[in-house]
Amino acid sequence: MGKKLYINTTINGEAVEFLCEPRQSLLEIFRDHLGMTGTKEGCNDGNCGACNVIIDGVLMNSCLIFAVEAQDRKIVTIEGLASPQGLHPLQQKFLEHASLQCGICTPGFLVAAKALLDQNPDPTEHEVRHWLAGNLCRCTGYDKIVRAVLDAANVAPNTETSLQSSN
C-alpha cells in the first residue's frame, strides 16, 4: 500500500480535494470516495464506456485514468450535465426517444454524446455511430440512442429544455 497523495481538481465546475493511493483509478475515487456513483463501472478495463467522463475537453474512460492524474484538471461527469434550470438536451431526448432500457450504460453514452456535440454540433448518423462505438449497450440495439443524439443535435446549442419528469 502506497502513501496517500493529496489531489486538487475541478469536477463539474467545483473545486474538489481528495486523498488517494497511487494505484487507485479515478473511477474508484468517484464511486467509493466521493459518493459520485452516477459514473458506472461496467468492465474496469476500458472496453465498455460506462465510466466515460470528459477531462479538459477530451472523452476518457475513468477506469483507465489514475486518480493522481486528476491534479489541476477540469472534469465533467454525468452529474454535471443537467443544471438546476433543466436537463441537457441530450438527457431530454434520451427520455423522449426511450433510449434507455436498464439504464446502466446511459450515463456513459450521455457523456460521450456530449463530447461529440461539443466538437461536432451537427453530426451525421455515420459520425454518431462511429463516435459512440466505444460505448456498449446490450439492451437497446442502439437505434433509439442514435436517434436521440441526432435529435438533440438539432436543439440549439446551450439552450436547455425545461426539466421534464413524470414523478
Amino acid at 142: Y
Q: Which of 5, 34, 68, 134 binds other proteins (CB under 8 A)?
A: 134
Minimum CB separation of residue 166 from other proteins in Å reads 4
Element (H, E) at 110: helix 106-119
C-alpha closest to that of 98 among 145, 163, 161, 149 = 145
Compare residues 32 and 56 and give the one whose CB is closer to other proteins: 32
Q: Which of 35, 85, 156, 158 binds other proteins (CB under 8 A)?
A: 35
Compare residues 68 and 95 and give the one whose CB is closer to other proteins: 95
Q: Can you list the positions of beta strands (E) in the chain?
A: 5-11, 14-20, 52-55, 58-61, 74-76
List the interface residues with other proteins, window 49-108 (CB under 8 A): 50, 77-79, 81-82, 87, 91, 94-98, 100-107
The answer to whether 44 and 63 have CB atoms below 8 angstroms apart is yes
If one asks whether residue 5 binds other proteins (CB under 8 A), the answer comes out as no
- 124 by Cβ neighbours in 10 Å (0-12 / 13-18 / 19+) ranks as exposed
Q: Which residues lie near other proteins (CB under 8 A)?
A: 1, 21, 23-24, 28, 31-32, 35-45, 47-48, 50, 77-79, 81-82, 87, 91, 94-98, 100-107, 110, 128-130, 132-147, 163-167
